[in-house]
Amino acid sequence: MYSVLTSIFIDLIFCSFIIFTNQQYTPDWSSLDKRPLPTWYDESKVGIFIHWGVFSVPSFHSEWMWWAWKGDNPNPDTVAFMNKNYPPDWTYADFAAQFHAELYDPNEWADIFAASGAKYIVLTSKHHEGFTLWPSKYSFNWNAMDVGPKRDLLGDLANAIRNRTDLVFGLYHSMFEWFHPLYLEDKKNGFQTQLFPNMKTLPELKEIVENYKPSVIWSDGDWDKQFVYACLLTWPNNTTEITLGAPVNSSSTSVTLLGSDVGPLNWRSAGASGGIIIDVSNIKTYSLASDWAWIFKLQNVTPK
């Protein structure tokens, strides 16, 4: 599943995002369902999506260049390009030192975006290569402050957009990284472990939300396995069962709770109302990794 975007490019986007507002809500559906649809989200028909990263240095193939070169099924043209232009011992990480961004002027970018008539912009904060455009403490020596530009590319653009325009600022963030050791460990374990999301993805996501306060976030990825994730924002008191409106129609569906050492959970159909009823009688909430959201993973949600 390769994207058709290339190098530094700008595309119109028409997709779903996580939406943030300034209003405070309590972690229950009765409160969350009162959230109004932001006017800009409903009325803004044109936005600008920016892919920019280490892949912009070779500027070959697409932002998937590393995977096209070293992935499971290497792209012949990409392999030939690397063999022709770089020495045999060259690694993808070597490109980072050449990612200078010396012509980067976020003020100029902001002015161009505003003049285009777009109403919002979304910057790729981190693609599947794992290189972060902000100084993430969860991406040591693989971020724009430690290597390459030596600056907070994301923060500089966020400030320029907010100081010079009335555009809505948003971020893209990859949920996985092709070659990260923790991700590969989870993959080797059949994703029965959650080392990568707990130690990398979720902390990073919280980091960009708290530091840069994007109005929208596009979380992208998770194609190695077909899962459905259901997020529970409040854990009911004194309950042994939880009902989810999940699209399950297969008896082979496996349900687990991320952060819990309890194995697959028993469940049954909720009947005509749809969804499933999950047995959580063996879950001890005090032992879970999260205390602000709980995520169920549903695997094999449709018949094979």
The C-alpha atoms of residue 245 and residue 276 are separated, in whole angstroms, by 6
Q: What is the pTM of this model?
A: 0.72
Higher-confidence residue: 36 or 47?
Answer: 47
Structure tokens at 297: 């993973």
Q: pLDDT band for position 224 (50/70/90)?
A: low
Share of the chain above pLDDT 90, in %: 58
Lowest mean pLDDT across 53-57, 74-78, 132-136, 272-276 = 272-276
Contact between 167 and 114 (Cβ < 8 Å): yes
* Beta pairing class for 254-257 and 241-244: unpaired
Nearest to 206 by CA among 44, 13, 18, 69: 18
Report whether pLDDT(246) > 80: no
Nearest to 142 by CA among 66, 215, 77: 66
Higher-confidence residue: 12 or 219?
Answer: 219
Domains within the chain, CATH numbers bracketed: 39-220 (3.20.20.80), 227-303 (no CATH)
Note the pLDDT tens digit of each residue in 53-73: 999 999 999 999 999 999 999
Lowest mean pLDDT across 8-17, 19-28, 91-100, 295-304 = 8-17
Lowest mean pLDDT across 53-57, 103-107, 224-228 = 224-228
Lowest mean pLDDT across 83-87, 148-152, 186-190, 291-295 = 291-295
Angle 265-29-300 (CA atoms, 0-180°, nearest 5)?
Answer: 30
